[in-house]
Amino acid sequence: MRQVTLVQVGVGTVGGAVVEQVLDHRARWRRDLALEVGVGAVVTRDGALVADEPAGLPDETLRAVVAGRRTGATLRDVARQHGMVPVPADDGTIGRPPAGEALIVLDAAAGAETAGIDVRVLGGGGGVVLSNKAPLALSTADPTAAALWRAAGPGGRLRYEATCGAGLPVISTLRALLDTGDEVIEIQGALSGTLGAIFSDVAAGQPFSAAVRSAKERGYTEPDPRDDLSGLDVARKALILARTIGRRIDLGEIEVESLVPEHLRDVGVEEFLARVEEGDAAMAERAAAAKAAGRALKYVATVRPDGPLAVGVRAVDTGTVLGALQGPENIVSIRTRRYDAYPLNVAGPGAGAAVTAAGMLADVLALATGPLAAHPVASAEGNPT
């Protein structure tokens, strides 16, 4: 039986779902894959809980952490209630498995602050699984980014399926094409479920402002819808796809169309929502022109092996799979030398805690039965983290 120790970084919506799925399914992994999976630590901005036992943190503690975080409690609050003392998030004991064990950090946080943990674990012989896009979007001149991307290639110990399309097999499909010698001509994708839902409503005749408010009410947007409407999230996904196919490019080089008027970027959320209809007339005109041409507006990322990269609103032929997309789904259309006349398409729900967590855990199992099984950690002392 192979011991796999997980370090869960970020215990929000996605991180909490990861922990719950581990608890629900590790008996299956023990039976079918001969893997004994335990959560050795949970890490948040305000500290970390680290297991004293090789089996990991107790189930009741993990469930209490997830439940507490969902009600807004801090990790310190939950720890205090259960008689535990959290350690600093950068404590050196995090990420040091006993000899022979596989250690995998799951980074479901937001922002690049966790990149240091990811790099330290890789340096100690462990694996990294990301849903957090920010570390992979760091500047190419940043040594941290270089270390992460070195580990992200064929047979590497960093996996990042959940950064582009939640649980959809976008990265693994692209990786399989590249590893078998195919060449990418173009990738086009609707990579935001939020913007997909908004533009489906716009195509159905709703004003842009009503579509934005409806998306927020249905829980599709971030608490501040401008986080989605800025296009930055889609730009990061486009950057990750571009770097996966070998482009050395930075975020600032991508042309990004923001749907947030400059004069509304710094106002409060409520004021923004009250004034978002100021953009209705212009968007309605674009939607009408697209409809007259048999097209529909979609927020699209376009990635090619060379030339400019762009994300923004495009009028897409409704006869294509991309143009026919409805609601909060994602679709990625990959055109290659082999898949030229008929591109390879990956479509489905591109957001949601359950599918994102499942995508991360699929990467965990691939690492645990692949690169980490082939190259076990030699010793805890040799892994300074």
List the catalytic residues.
Answer: 237
* Concatenated DSSP letters of 151-213: TTSTT-SEE-GGGTTTTSSHHHHHHHHHHTT--EEEEEEE--HHHHHHHHHHHTT--HHHHHH
Q: Report the C-alpha gap between 302 and 255 in whole angstroms.
A: 10
Cβ–Cβ < 8 Å for 361, 153:
no
Alpha helix locations (H) across 112-162? 115-123, 143-150
Give the pair of three-digit tokens for residue 65: 């952490």
Q: Report the C-alpha gap between 276 and 285 in whole angstroms.
A: 16
Q: Report the C-alpha gap between 91 and 21 in whole angstroms.
A: 26
Residue the block writes with tokens 């249905």: 218
Alpha helix locations (H) across 35-92? 59-70, 75-81
Phi, psi of 214 (to 5 degrees): -65, -40
Amino acid at 234: V
Bridge partners for 189 per DSSP: 301, 332
CA nearest 297: which of 276, 307, 282? 282
Give the pair of three-digit tokens for residue 176: 């399989």
Cβ–Cβ < 8 Å for 189, 300:
yes
Q: Report the C-alpha gap between 379 and 213 in whole angstroms.
A: 54
Q: How far apart are the first and last CA of the chain?
A: 26
Q: Report the C-alpha gap between 49 and 61 in whole angstroms.
A: 10
Burial label, 107 (beta-carbon count in 10 A; 0-12, 13-18, 19+): buried
* Concatenated DSSP letters of 240-294: HHHHHTT----GGGSEE--SS-GGGSSS-HHHHHHHGGGGHHHHHHHHHHHHHTT
